[in-house]
Amino acid sequence: MENNSAMTDGMHIVVKALKANGVENIYGVVGIPVTDLARIAQNEGIRYIGFRHEQNAGNAAAISGYITKKPGICLTVSAPGFLNGLVALANATTNAFPMIQISGSSDRSIVDLQQGDYEELDQMNIAKPFVKASYRVNKPEDIGIGIARAIRAAVSGRPGGVYLDLPASVLEAALKETDADKSVFVVEDPAPDMLPSKKSVDKALQVLSEAKKPLVILGKGAAYSQSENEIKKFIEMTGIPFLPMSMAKGVLPDDHVLSAATARSFVLENADVVILLGARLNWLLGHGKGPHWSSKTRFIQVDIEPMEIDSNRPIEAPLVGDMCSVIKELLSSLNPLSLNEYNDWIDTIEEHKKINAEKMALKIEQITEPMNYFNALGAINNELEKWRDIYLVNEGANTLDNARNIINMYHPRRRLDCGTWGVMGIGMGYSIGAAVTENKQVVAIVGDSAFGFSGMEIETICRYKLPVTIIVFNNGGIYRGDEINGTSSDPAPTSLLMSSQYEKLMEAFGGYGVCAKSIDELVNALKNSLNNKHPTLINCLIDASAGVESGHLKNLNPKTNSVK
Ligand SMILES: Cc1ncc(Cn2c(C)c(CCOP(=O)(O)OP(=O)(O)O)sc2=O)c(N)n1
Ligand SMILES: Nc1ncnc2c1ncn2[C@@H]1O[C@H](COP(=O)(O)OP(=O)(O)O)[C@@H](O)[C@H]1O
Ligand SMILES: [Mg+2]
């Protein structure tokens, strides 16, 4: 006989709804009023990962969404905890990563009269400018639909961050178990295929048939779409060279014969038709204007977001739809005989690739004491060639820019970096998110300043014994370490600047810490960490004078009279 009088509560309903929809991990920092929600989730088999700061928990949730196409879940307390997580939620929205931040919140009747509740804040409204959707659940029987709406909002169309507000009163509210079960449901096809119109496919193929020097630009939208097989087939059937944006490295392997990555400036300036596959013509591509672009370039753009079309340059052939469906439609309508031969174009690209590769090889092979970015990254790349399945997390300025050019990627969604906002502090959160989600090894190559933003999470990495190797590129400061008081006229002694012993921090938490002063020490430490899979921090000492301010973004600094 069904026990119709059995009661449950809001917290149990939240966990039931998350579990019903396939949520396996929750990343967060608990406290009033969500601590028991995490306990219940753990009891129900969902893995809860407890962090030291909500921003890092949010970054872990966001990157797990990017890797899996399922929304990553971040759980925080109200007000300050909510606000700490909001930076990661905004970054997820900016990068089109599906993530849901669930925060407890205060009593509506007190908040709305501003009567001074514990951690009083109107969180749902504060979140709105930074997210795809912001919802609040006011009744326990609405929790199921609230979770469903948040999931669909996070993954449908252009993915992004969603905020779900759960007041403490709803979390503790009692409800008949039978009513609760009826309110929970599995979201049906939350990210439906979106096919392009036949007209748009025909137009795109028409423009492509007129191209003599075409170029495909692969963006992180292409990586996220998990349509690497279809994209590979399109590239190889057409013979069109491709340029991967940072997080799209590995959609096709960096050693692919049609990769134009090492001739980036040349191909951008000379391509006559550019096919944007899940890449925005934003600042990362110079808005498609200026010295690195020809005003005559014609654009074909594949994007799931219709509003992205024409954002910066007129798009002659928009293909609005999900990447996989669009590429499949192109493949089914493509007549390779209608395309031109690109041999001259490809031969010229090869010449530029060769020249640039030789220049880089000279930088990488030089022996210096202390190390610099190029020889250290060259040595790391040689070792990682044997570990092509690892996840690579990368942040910093020079550390980011140089690693992007030197560390080759061979599989999609493995390079996880500062992304569209160029945000510092993603390092440890992304490392934890990738390690937990995929149960694979992670190597994080981070600048010393960037590491400082999330460095306390090495305790989290050690606590969960995650296979993460952190290589801190220690040049003693932001961009460079040889400037004191803002001038380079009074450089401090290099030894002083290298005093940050980050490796000791790792040892303090039970991880392996190594200070690498030479290439051999660096490579041996990396080999050992990859073989023993133990949390490791390698403090890689880099010449304090190495690096340039803002790395490759130097030109974005405002033009002012030089600092005296
Ligand atoms: C959240 C945040 N704060 C500050 C910055 C400004 N910033 C900062 C602080 C960087 C750190 C660069 O120093 P690093 O030591 O990490 O790397 P290199 O020394 O190798 O350049 S790069 C950069 O754009 C940022 N991008 N994001
Ligand atoms: N499944 C998908 N199909 C097509 N486009 C997608 C898909 N997922 C995300 N996108 C789009 O991909 C684009 C990613 O652009 P961006 O973040 O600028 O990439 P990158 O920085 O690598 O150039 C966004 O405009 C987003 O709308
Ligand atoms: Mg630095």
The DSSP-derived string for 320-336 is: ES-HHHHHHHHHHH--G
Strands (E), 306-462: 317-320, 391-395, 415-417, 442-447
- Closest C-alpha among 139, 159, 147 to residue 23: 147
- Ligand 1 pocket test target in 449, 542, 553 with most atoms within 8 Å of CB: 449
Write the DSSP symbol of residue 440: -
- Residue 231's Cα: distance from chain center in Å? 20
- Residue 85's Cα: distance from chain center in Å? 16
**CA–CA separation, 564 and 420 (whole Å):** 33
Residue of the CA atom closest to atom 6 of ligand 1: 424
**CA–CA separation, 217 and 315 (whole Å):** 14
Write the DSSP symbol of residue 136: E
- Specify the 3-state DSSP secondary structure of 274: strand
- Specify the 3-state DSSP secondary structure of 499: coil
Residue of the CA atom closest to atom 20 of ligand 2: 219
Mean pLDDT of the chain: 94
Counting from 1 in the atom list of ligand 1, the atom nearest the Cα of 451 is 16
In short, whether 449's Cβ falls inside 6 Å of ligand 1 is: yes
Residues framing ligand 2 (Cβ under 6 A): 95-96, 158, 219-221, 224-225, 245, 247-248, 278-280, 282, 284, 302-305, 308, 322-323, 420
pLDDT at 496: 47
pLDDT at 486: 47
**CA–CA separation, 417 and 252 (whole Å):** 18
Q: Which ligand is nearest to the CA of 250?
A: 2
Burial string for 68-82 (b: 16+ CB within 10 Å, else e) reads bbbbbbbbbbbbebb
- Measured between alpha carbons, how far apart are the two ends of the chain, in Å? 84
**By the 8 A CB rule, do 304 and 221 touch?**
yes
Provide the residue type at 352 as one letter. Answer: H
Counting from 1 in the atom list of ligand 2, the atom nearest the Cα of 191 is 1
- Closest C-alpha among 216, 217, 301, 247 to residue 95: 247
**CA–CA separation, 496 and 518 (whole Å):** 18
**CA–CA separation, 57 and 50 (whole Å):** 8
**By the 8 A CB rule, do 323 and 193 touch?**
no
Per-residue tokens: 559: 């033009």
pLDDT at 524: 98
pLDDT at 545: 84
CA distances (Å), origin 154, targets 62, 404, 431, 517: 10, 28, 22, 45
The bridge status of strand 273-277 relative to strand 298-303 is: parallel
274: β partners: 215, 299
**CA–CA separation, 409 and 418 (whole Å):** 16
Domains of the chain by range and CATH?
Answer: 7-183 (3.40.50.970), 198-349 (3.40.50.1220), 366-541 (3.40.50.970)
**By the 8 A CB rule, do 513 and 539 touch?**
yes
pLDDT at 187: 98
Instruction: Give 10-residue mean pLDDT values along the chain (564 residues).
Output: 80 98 98 96 98 98 98 97 98 98 93 87 96 98 98 98 98 97 98 98 98 98 98 98 98 98 97 98 95 94 98 98 98 92 97 98 94 97 97 97 98 98 97 96 97 98 98 84 57 57 97 97 98 97 82 71 60
How many whole angstroms from 223 Cα to the centroid of ligand 2?
Answer: 8
